[in-house]
């Protein structure tokens, strides 16, 4: 918990190992707007990446839920248990069970697929729903976003 030192403008952060020597506190600029002030030079590598301070790196925000985590190691994903990744990169095809989701349909028309290739480099490809498979090979897919849609404006 941060403690305010009334004799100075500095905040003193209590010793918490989870902060990895990162000290953050709320402060206010001359206009009275809140700002976050940081001090210390031992920011963790992950924090520097998320701040955009490490050249050649980037981050994505991922989330998941596993409603039944037992004593054994499990992957955080909707299926529970350990997720089995594919061993070899493959191309992707986008399909739908709705006839409205197609190249000329009223639902989803194109989807951007984002992931990693076999060299673990970030790759993206935009594919037509119900169309031919793509040419980009993915080892991991971490996001798929509807890019264009027909008159319904969404996938059906």
CA dist., res. 27 & res. 49, Å (int) = 23
Show pLDDT as tens, one digit a residue, over the chain (156 residues): 444 444 455 545 455 555 444 455 556 677 777 666 555 555 677 778 888 888 888 878 777 788 878 788 888 888 878 889 999 999 999 999 998 999 999 999 999 999 999 999 999 999 999 999 999 999 999 999 999 999 988 666
User: Global pTM?
Assistant: 0.63
How far apart, in whole angstroms, are the C-alpha atoms of residue 153 and residue 156?
9
Q: How many CB atoms lie within 10 A of CB 29?
A: 9
């Amino acid at each position: 918990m941060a403690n305010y030192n009334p004799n100075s403008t500095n905040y003193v952060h209590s010793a918490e190992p989870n902060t990895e020597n990162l000290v953050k506190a709320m402060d206010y600029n001359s206009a009275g707007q809140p700002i976050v002030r940081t001090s210390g030079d031992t920011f963790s590598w992950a924090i520097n990446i998320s701040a955009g301070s490490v050249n050649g790196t980037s981050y994505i925000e991922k989330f998941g839920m596993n409603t039944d985590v037992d004593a054994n190691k499990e992957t955080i994903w909707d299926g529970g248990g350990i997720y089995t990744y594919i061993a070899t990169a493959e191309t992707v095809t986008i399909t739908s069970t709705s006839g409205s989701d197609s190249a000329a349909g009223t639902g989803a028309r194109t989807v951007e697929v984002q992931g990693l290739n076999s060299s673990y480099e970030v790759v993206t490809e935009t594919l037509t729903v119900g169309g031919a498979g793509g040419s980009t090979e993915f080892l991991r897919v971490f996001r798929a976003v509807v890019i264009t849609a027909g008159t319904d404006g969404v996938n059906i």
